[in-house]
A and B are shown apart, each in its own frame.
Chain A
Amino acid sequence: MQVRNAGCFARIFSCLLFLLVLVPVVSCSDPEARNTLTIKGSTTVLPVVQIGAEVFMDRNPRTDISVQGGGSGVGIASLIDRTTRIATSSREIKAEEIERAKASGVHPYEIVVAMDGIAVIANPSNPTDNLTMEQIRDIYTGKVSNWQELGGPDREIVVISRDTSSGTFEAFEKLALDGLRVRPDALVTASNQVVNTTVAQAPGAIGYLGYGYLSDRVKVVSVDGVRPSGETIRSGRYPLARPLYLYTDGKPAGEAKRYIDFLTQEEGQRLVQEQGFIPVRQGGRLSGQWYEPRGKSRIFSRGKLRGIRPALRVLRSERGGGLKTAGLPFPEQRDRRTA
């Protein structure tokens, strides 16, 4: 009995051993071996690329996508030192980063994957429903420090901001503050989620955060009379909107191209919307919006890229001027928050 058992084990063992030897041989002989793709960068863009990667891997079992956070700066730095194929960023690549990239032979290529609105939020106990851009600027620069001055109750304003390095802050600073300095005693929090918690806790608080992170615990304040929604952010009527970016080294190719195409076309854009961001387009006419950062064509030495006029740039420059760009609105899309 024991001997038979032992023989049985030996046979199973040898089978396993055989499989172990065989499997790598088989996979090596396969010309379409596993494709790997790394994506790294902004924590704001993370949920979008993460869910996109999961669905994409589900469709393409041969592809392994590894998604990492770390921040926009980390993502772009990784692109420059070639440790990631795709960098995500919640801010535009900076001139000095482009310089560094060029120095190491990397040519950053920009793709807008989604739009994100920056919602201004207050504590639910605050009666203020609307603030003008000027009022927001006064609050954040310290000109106004009590809600009374804005027609609210006599309560000190607790100004909540984000780290000066965060993409959300940079967008807010550019859009709302015109580059003025935030008052130094503003509370600085490390994430969108903490802004939510802090504003929910402090009656006099005001904060701002990515549209996708809005929660029921806080009150959304309209800006210049416009409430943030999918419609108002995409059309550019809501003044605090920003694009979210992907960067690749040169025009995306191979696996990176397939993934980016997936994410920027209809199905991927639906995922974008499910994550609480605003899709940039619908339909598969263009694989993303390619354009040259800061309009400096010398950045791209490959010269193949044609400068497709960036729709978002139009949106930004004609902020509040209504919809000017074709191909953006989604008539059938319902906004979850306003609906």
Chain B
Amino acid sequence: MRHFRETLYRWIFTVLAFASLLFLTGIVLTLFRESLPFLVSHDFFDTVFGLYWYPTYDPADFGMLPLITASFVVTLGAMVVCIPVGVGTALFLHELASASQRAVLKPLIEILAGIPSIIYGFFGMIIVAPFIQNLLGVPTGLNAFTASLILGIMATPTVASLAEDALSFVPRSFREASLALGANRWQTLTRVVVPAAGSGISTAIILGIGRAVGETMVVLMVAGGAAVIPDSIFDPVRPMTATIAAEMGETVMGSAHYSAIFTIGLILFFITLAINIVAEIISRRFRLKLGLGR
């Protein structure tokens, strides 16, 4: 009886653990199946490098370059915001903050990470966009710059808490050795601790980027939505996620447009997959370098 129960539990948990594999397979298969009609009927390179996105006109244009560019521009902008702020926060928390400051800051950062993205979107659309529009005198505040700013703020908690973890994984002996050799605190930090945690910090940044690439609500509300390759960062853009979210509901199911939207989803999936693989490779190298099993 006891043996039977143990076997049962083992099976239950095995099934639960492999459920995510099942979901992943299902999602990938669906993405492929639904985008296949489009991939078969349209030249992939013409699509990816096409300049015009007019999916509902006749004849339709499915140029995805503006959408892909927009995702890259907005993500790059978000990195410019979230790397200094996120890594800076992590360094402060790790090196300078007193116990009481840590006690306040860490939960606050976690709350920031827990705010639903639609709230960020509202905040961006109602407060930040008009402010930037008046401040810089641009025709509209709904542009790549505002979207980058909001996305950067959103990704900051991810970067900060993961980078802080990476810093705390640096063995105490490294720091002690450095200080014992006469290095001051700044030298210890820049020459020993940060390089040792470097790969961990890179992983944090890459996962932050992953969050920014896949974010939908904020870019839908704040980026402006114009499917053009922007001349400047203050032009409205239309990232891939916003395109999918905005067009999926109204399109004719089974049409070329429907299939094209799934193709965008497939491209997005591969981009985030690549980001995750890179993060994994870097963090593996980090473990080897430190000679830790972690």
Contact = CB atoms under 8 A, between A and B. Distances in A.
Given A96-B255, A164-B55, A198-B140, A190 B225 contact: yes
A186 interface: yes
Given A165-B250, A188-B225, A179 B140 contact: no
Contact of A96 (B55, B221, B249, B252): B252
Nearest to A168: B250
A331 interface: no
A157 B130 CA distance: 17
Contact of B249 (A74, A179, A184, A202): A74
Interface string B22-56: 00000000000000000000000000000011111
10 contacts: A73-B253, A76-B252, A77-B252, A96-B255, A100-B254, A188-B246, A190-B245, A201-B140, A202-B141, A205-B140
A185 B221 contact: no
Contact of B57 (A70, A179, A185, A188): A179
Nearest to A76: B252
B133 A163 contact: no
Interface string A70-82: 1111101100100
Contact of A181 (B57, B139, B248, B254): B57
Given A163-B246, A181-B54, A187 B251 contact: no
Nearest to B253: A77
Interface residues of A, number: 39
B235 A185 contact: yes
B142 interface: yes
B125 interface: yes
Contact of A71 (B55, B126, B129, B249): B249
A-B complex: 5 closest residue pairs judged by Cβ atoms: A71-B249, A188-B225, A165-B250, A77-B253, A71-B250
B225 A184 contact: no
A96 B56 CA distance: 13
Contacts of B238: 188
A184 B139 contact: no
A266 interface: no
Contacts of A164: 54-57, 247
A204 interface: yes
Interface centre among A100, A158, A166, A185 (most CB of B within 10 A): A185
A335 interface: no
A282 interface: no
A190 B142 contact: no
